[in-house]
Structure 1
Amino acid sequence: MNSFKTLFKLMFHYDIRDWSTLVFTFLFPIALLLVLVLSFKSYVPGVDIASQISANVIAFGAAYVGIFAGASHLALWRENGMLQTVRNFPLSWNVIILSQAVVGIVVLLAQAVVLVVLGMIMGMVLKPTFLSGLLPLVLGYLLFFFLGVIIAMIIYSIAGVSILANIIILPLGFIGGAMMPVNMLPSWVQTIAPYTPLYHMREALSMMLIGSGTWPHAWLGILYLTVGCITLGLVSIYGFRWK
C-alpha cells in the first residue's frame, strides 16, 4: 500500500505539472464541445442537441484521457530510464499500472466535472440518474487505458506512441458517433459503429446522464465495456510483466 501511495503521488504531481496533459485533458475537449454545440445549434434550430453533444464529448474525453494515460506515461518512463530504475525496487508491475490508472481516473473525474458544468451552461439537462453515468465513464476509461498500455508495449518511442494513439482514438471517436450523430454518417460507418467501444460508451452514458436512448442498449454497453476492460486488462498486465 505504501508503494502504491508513493507512486500515485509521484505520477499525480507529474500530471498536474505537465502542460501537454492539461491541454489534451481540458482545453481540447472544452474546445470540441464549444465548436460542436455552437455549430449544430445553428444547423438544427429549436432542437435541444446540447445535451446529446455534451454526453458525446464527455465520453470521448474519457477515452482520450484513458488511451494517453496508459500509453504516453509508460513510454516516457521507458524512454527516460525510469522503468529501469523502478526495477531496482520491490514493486510489481501491477502496482505501477494500477497507480497510473488511478491517477488517470482522478484526472478523468476533474475533466468530467468541467465538461458537465460547461454543458449545463450551454443547455444540457441532467436526469436524476446522472451519477450512474460514472460507471460507463470509468469502464470506458479503463478499457482505453489498458489499450494504451498495450500500445506502449509495442511502440518504444514517446512520439510513436502519441501518433499511434491518435490514429486509433480519433477514427474511433468519429465512427462511434462522438463527433457527429451516427445516423448522419455513411451507411458503412453506421454498420460498424455498434462494434466500437466509444459507441457503447455513448449509449450507456447518454441514457444515464441525459435520458437519451434505452436501458437495454445502456446495459448492453456496460456489458461490452466490462468484457473489453477485463480482456485488455489481462493482456496488458501479463504482457507488461513479460516485457
Structure 2
Amino acid sequence: MKNCKTMFRVMFRCDLRDWSTLIFTFIFPMALLLILVFSMKGAVPGLDLTSQISANVIAFGAAYVGIFAGATHLATWRENGMLRVLRNFPLSSNVIILSQAFVGVVFLLAQGLVLTIMGVVLGMVLKPTALLGLLPLVFGYLFFFFLGVIIALLVPSMAGVSMLANIIILPLGFAGGAMMPVEMLPSWMQTIAPYTPIYHMREALSMMLIGSGTWPHAWLGLVYLAIGCIPLGLISVYGLRWK
C-alpha cells in the first residue's frame, strides 16, 4: 500500500507537468464538445440535442483519455528507460499499472466535472441521478486504460502505439454513437453498435446523467464494462510482468 501511494504521488506530479496529458484530457474534449454542439444544433427541427451530445462527449472523452493514458505512459517509460529503473525497485507490475490507473481516474473526475459544467452552460439538463454517472465513466476509463496497456505491450514504438490507439478508439467512438446519434449511422454500423464498449458507456451515462434511455440498458452497459475490465486488467498486469 505504501509503495502504491508513493507511485501515485510521483506519477500524479509527472502528469501535472506533462502538457500533452493536459491537452488530451481537457482541451481536446472541450473543443470536441463545442464543435459538435454548434455544428449539430438545429439538425433535428424542434429537438435540442445539446444534452445528448454533451453526454456522448463526456463518455468518449473518458474512453479516449483512458486508452492513451494506458498506451503512451508505458511506451514512454520503455523508450526513456524508466521501466528498467522501476524494475530495480521492489515494485510489482500490478502496483505500477494500478498506480497509473488511479492517477488517471483523478484526471478523469476533473475532466468529467469540467465537461459537465461546460455542457450545462451550453444547455444540458441534468437529472437527480447524475452522480451515478461516475460509475460508467470510471469503469469505461479503466476498460480502455487496460486496453491501452495491452497495446503498448504489443507494439514496440511510441509512434506505433499512438497510431494503433487512434485506429482503435476513433472508429469505436464513431460506431458507438459518440460522434453522431446511432440512428443517423449506416444500417450496418447500427447493427454492430450495441457490441461496442463506447455504446454501452453512452447508454449507461446518458440514462444516469440526463435521463435518456432505459435503466435496463444502463445497467447492462455497466455490467458489460465491469466484466470487460477483468480480463483486460489481468492481461495487462501479467503481460507487463512477463515483459
The TM tier, using the shorter chain, reads over 0.9
Provide the residue aligned with 1:217 in structure 2.
217
Kindly state the Cα deviation for residue 60 of structure 1 after the two structures are TM-superposed: 0.1
- Runs of 5+ in structure 1 lacking a partner? none
Name the counterpart of 1:94. 94
The match for 1:37 is 37
Instruction: Tell me the amino acid that sits aligned with residue 3 of structure 2.
Output: S
SS of the counterpart of 1:43?
A: coil
In structure 1, how many angstroms separate the alpha carbons of the residues matched to 2:129 and 2:189?
30
Asked if structure 1 preserves the Cα contact closer than 8 Å seen for 2:140 and 2:201, the reply is: yes
**What amino acid maps onto 2:232 in structure 1?**
L
**Native 8 Å contact 1:3 1:91 kept in 2:** yes
Q: Which moved more, 1:196-205 or 1:158-167?
A: 158-167
Give the unaligned 5+ runs of structure 2: none
CA distance in 1 between counterparts of 2:221 and 2:42 reads: 31
Give yes or no for contact 1:79–1:156 (8 Å, CA) kept in 2. no
CA–CA distance in structure 2, aligned partners of residues 188 and 47 of structure 1: 26
Identity over aligned pairs, percent: 76
1:85-116 residue CA offsets vs partner (Å, 9 max, x unmatched): 11111000010001000000000000000000
Show the counterpart of 1:168: 168
Letter of the structure 2 residue corresponding to residue 177 of structure 1: G
Count of aligned pairs? 243
Q: State how far apart, in whole Å, the 1-side matches of 2:222 and 2:158 are.
A: 32
Deviation at 1:144? 0.2
* Structure 1 stretches of 4+ moved >2 Å: 42-46
Provide the rounded CA distance (Å) in 2 between the counterparts of 1:147 and 1:190. 24
Match of 1:201 in 2: 201
Query: Counterparts in 2 of 1:183-198, with a 5 A limit?
Result: 183-198=183-198
Q: Contact between 2:42 and 2:48, CA under 8 Å: does it hold in 1?
A: no
CA distance in 1 between counterparts of 2:228 and 2:85 reads: 32
Give RMSD over aligned pairs: 0.9
The answer to whether the Cα contact below 8 Å between 2:67 and 2:144 also exists between their aligned partners in 1 is yes
Q: What is the aligned partner in structure 1 of residue 153 from structure 2?
A: 153
Amino acid at match of 2:29: P
Is 1:134–2:134 an aligned residue pair? yes
Between the aligned partners of 2:40 and 2:19, the Cα distance in structure 1 is: 30
- Structure 1 CA distance for aligned equivalents of residues 45 and 39 of structure 2: 10
- The amino acid that maps onto 1:96 is I
Q: Which moved more, 1:157-166 or 1:174-183?
A: 157-166
The letter for the 2-side match of 1:207 is M
Aligned AA (2:88): N
What is the CA distance between 1:45 and its match in structure 2? 4.2
Shift of 1:120: 0.1
Contact 1:136 1:205 in 2 (8 A): yes
How far residue 33 of structure 1 moved from its aligned partner, in angstroms, is: 0.4
Whether the 8 Å CA contact 2:55–2:202 is kept in 1: the answer is: yes
Task: State the Cα distance separating 1:44 from its structure 2 match.
Answer: 2.7
Which residue number in structure 1 is paired with residue 57 of structure 2?
57
Amino acid at match of 1:186: P
Match of 1:111 in 2: 111
